[in-house]
Structure 1
């Protein structure tokens, strides 16, 4: 995955519309499916919990399928990019200790992974207005820059490829 610049205002607007639309569709479908199930399979005790739960599960599956189907739509470009970026950063986070240890030992691949992680996190936090930990990120970036300089490594987030994580 390559980092790319996206318009924050467009991203936030599209994310809000996707979120609100998904929530509304989920609510309407859940109620509709539950009511249909209750109508076709009434319970003499009056407890319809299992039909309501099944309605929510089916509705969630339908919303997920719909989002998956429209993933390639131009409206979803920024939203899908951020979803994918979050997935990549989570994969790195799961191996972060090993990657950081290897970077301290001078492993160039580990340093490139961390460079992508820091650049991606910075972009993500700026898009979501989550700037509370930016100082901590700047400190980590400075440490990485120092390590890279000590080991003669040129950092470039564009060099990151998910297959690099396999060695950790």
Structure 2
């Protein structure tokens, strides 16, 4: 493989990092979409940040699909899924997870660099799937990570 081909391959790989996450709610009305999951083909596209509006008392009130184009993966999160919100804060926070990824109890969610330059691991306290990562615009830097119970999540194509 020549240098030009290697550069093209590298550029193709790094463009994946700029792709986003798309979220859909299962719709009761007929909405035109290209997304089909199992026998469900009626989805309404929503802003991913709005997912948190459908969580009440720690439970998801509507079925939704989270598609992460960076890793080419979609998950279906069923109605009634238990959702925990984990807050990660520090001088500098480096995420180690992404939306639509599964995590186990004890997996590293993020690395935190303290103001003294020390590196700390922030680990998951339970297993599940990351359905949303919300950046907190404040000092110290932070993220809210929404974890859905794995029993209510299905990986889809």
- Normalising by structure 1, we get a TM-score of 0.22
Query: Which protein is richer in strand relative to its size?
Result: 2
Which structure has more relative contact order (CA 8 Å, sep 6+)? It is 1
Question: Which protein shows a greater Rg?
Answer: 1
Query: Which protein is richer in helix relative to its size?
Result: 1
